Amino acid sequence: MSPLLTTPPVALSIAGSDCSAGAGLQADLKTFSALRVYGLTAVTCVVAEVPGRVTRVQAVDKDIVEEQLRLLLGAFPVTAIKTGMLWSASTIRLIARVLDSLPRTRRPWLIVDPVMVATSGDSLIEEDAVTAYREALFPQADLITPNMDEAATLLGQAISREEDLAGAAHTLMKTLGAPVLLKGGHLRGETALDVFQPLEGPAQLFSGPYFHGVSTHGTGCTLSAAIAASLAQGQTMPEAISTAKTFVSNAIRTLCRWNGVDALNHNGLT
């Protein structure tokens, strides 16, 4: 019997490994699979964590990161890339060089989730990495997806009101030189409002329900992975954001829980 061959679109996650599988590469792979995309991973660091607690981060040698990237990008027709936890300036600059070396005709979509602080409050980035993001990786991005804490770091000021989101997203777009999806879920209102600011044209709002009393460990990783997967499937950026927003809302709504530990449900309920 001959195999039934398929050629699904391919997406690559460049991120850290979360041993609890709620965020990082593991969450990205679950999301890719749920959205019918073949997922690849390049590991940047190994993180010992569970929801609400990070105990140790071990960076992967940057030469191994480079080898993973060059091998994967040479072997697979990667349509979309998302970056997550990159940890160090040297790794960020390395990734930027590898991506910049790709021929313009086969440059994948690039979604940059600037992971800086865990939901638990633990730092997930070295101090000089923000400068590397600004100088090397953000200029290549098709979309940057900061949450409010990350946006505050990039802006140099806190965002505390829903009505400030659109202005902050516009300022970030101008400052960073790339489209921005500013995630407003940390406002903890009745809705989770995200603002998409493209390079040209007005901001677009994406709203979903806010679920109180649950851990949202991994929502940022899952959202950016879902956007990358949807772009790989041929959706436009606004369509991909809408699909991702629905996917994350359902992953929270149907979450898993064991003895007080919450985890997103990535079973593809869209």
268 vs 258: CA distance, rounded Å: 20
Q: Which of 31, 45, 119, 183 is catalytic?
A: 183
- Do the beta carbons of residue 227 and residue 143 sit within 8 Å? yes
* Whether 55 is catalytic: no
Q: Which of 41, 216, 222, 243 is catalytic?
A: 216
Q: Which of 31, 219, 222, 243 is catalytic?
A: 219
* Whether 216 is catalytic: yes
9 vs 259: CA distance, rounded Å: 38
153 vs 133: CA distance, rounded Å: 12
Q: Which of 16, 91, 221, 243 is catalytic?
A: 221
165 vs 231: CA distance, rounded Å: 24
Tell me the HSE value of 166 on the side-chain side, using a 13 A CA sphere.
Answer: 7
- Do the beta carbons of residue 12 and residue 78 sit within 8 Å? yes
Say which DSSP state 134 is in: I
209 vs 214: CA distance, rounded Å: 13
Phi, psi of 218 (to 5 degrees): 95, 0
* Whether 105 is catalytic: no
Burial code (b: 16+ CB inside 10 Å, e: under 16) for 168-177 equals bbbbbbeebe
* Whether 221 is catalytic: yes
Active site residues: 183, 216, 218-221
